[in-house]
Amino acid sequence: MRALEIFDTDEHGKLAGSLEDILRLADPPASRLTWTLRYIEARDEVTAAWPAGLKDLEAQASARKFGLELSWEQLKALAAVLRAPVDVRLDGWARAPKLGGAPGELVLRIEVLDSTLFRVAARERPVLTRLERRFKDTRSVEVSEMY
């Protein structure tokens, strides 16, 4: 699977773009997928999107083997309130994995790594092309491990 690493920063050295931008550019197919939040570390106030708060969201995501399942609407709401995420990993599934069941079919992975870059892995090349057009400081990489 191919991935695009995005390093764009603004005039203050902060990661340019937002998780909201990435999700918008990843659709289609993003809105048709089942999403799981594998982990999150952030300093943002998220109660508008997750009323139980950030600590609960972190705990819910890390307590499940494949992450916390979120609807597209929940994911968009969360992305809208995350202004400075530190570490986030989101997996978009055509078929989500189930404990003791058949493996899932991962289509997209969106990560924020150490507040310094976005990494988006996609099975559909047009997603990466849209991101390459939007962002300037990018690097294409091969991702071998998708679980």
13 Rama class: left (phi>0) / alpha (psi -120 to 50) / beta:
left
Q: Mean pLDDT of all residues in the chain?
A: 93
What is the per-residue pLDDT across 65-91, written as a single tens digit (0 to 9) for each? 899 999 999 999 999 999 889 999 999
What is the per-residue pLDDT across 10-32, written as a single tens digit (0 to 9) for each? 888 888 899 999 999 999 999 99
Does residue 118 belong to any structural domain of this protein? Answer: yes
Does residue 96 belong to any structural domain of this protein? Answer: yes
* Region 41-70 average pLDDT: 96
13 vs 125, more confident = 125
32 vs 101, more confident = 32
Does residue 50 belong to any structural domain of this protein? Answer: yes
Does residue 77 belong to any structural domain of this protein? Answer: yes
pLDDT score, position 144: 73
Task: Label residue 102 by pLDDT band (50, 70, 90).
Answer: confident
pLDDT score, position 145: 56
Domain count, the chain: 1
**Domain encompassing residue 30:** 2-142
Does residue 147 belong to any structural domain of this protein? Answer: no
101 vs 147, more confident = 101
